[in-house]
Homo-oligomer: A and B are copies of this chain.
């Protein structure tokens, strides 16, 4: 599951870009554990390339806040503490609410909102089937579609960065949480507000939705003593 739009055009990826994606996936999959150190040379060998592309990938990942280059200690996968997660949720909330207001303000027609509608449907089906994995995927899709409708590429880029970290935490906490019934109701309300062009409501409902998500996540991290995800 990649956060960037998967362009179907088959452009030849450079080794650096592949290393970037590979390392990112390894971090999300937990193959590179939070807090762990890894030598550039080891990673290079694992990926079957020289140190150069690994280093370049590491520099990019560093500016995305996923790891840290520490001279002579290797790259350190940054753990995300509950306090970090609170920060991340706060930023996400602002950016998504900005998007929700912009979307409501633009007077989108129904087809434009299809991605939102589809994601909502999928979430409802998933909840009915008790399928949390598919729910999480559709939930992610909803939030990203919302941000795209906000039509602010910089907000979208920052959203992707932050959302990556949430995804990482969610893979750990997904099965600890109750069924997201209220969440689905929230999404529908946000959708209706945007469709109706009700800017204030879109912001308010989505803000409350995100606040709940934040509290839920922090509760889970606290309850299960997950201090560095």
Contact = CB atoms under 8 A, between A and B. Distances in A.
Given A63-B60, A64-B63, A155 B95 contact: no
Interface in A15-52: none
A176 interface: no
Interface stretch (A83-91, A119-127, A192-200): A83-91
Contact of A94 (B56, B64, B84, B95): B95
Nearest to A165: B154
A88 B95 CA distance: 12
A59 interface: yes
Contact of A152 (B63, B87, B97, B98): B87
Q: Is the interface of A mostly helix, strand, loop or mixed?
A: helix
A155 B60 contact: no
B95 A91 contact: yes
A192 to B, nearest CB: 23
A216 interface: no
14 contacts: A56-B59, A63-B64, A65-B157, A84-B154, A87-B155, A88-B154, A90-B98, A90-B102, A91-B95, A91-B98, A91-B154, A94-B97, A94-B155, A158-B158
Given A65-B157, A87-B152, A91-B152, 20 more contacts: A55-B56, A56-B56, A56-B59, A59-B59, A59-B60, A63-B63, A65-B154, A87-B154, A90-B98, A90-B102, A90-B152, A90-B155, A91-B95, A91-B154, A91-B155, A94-B95, A94-B97, A94-B155, A154-B162, A158-B158
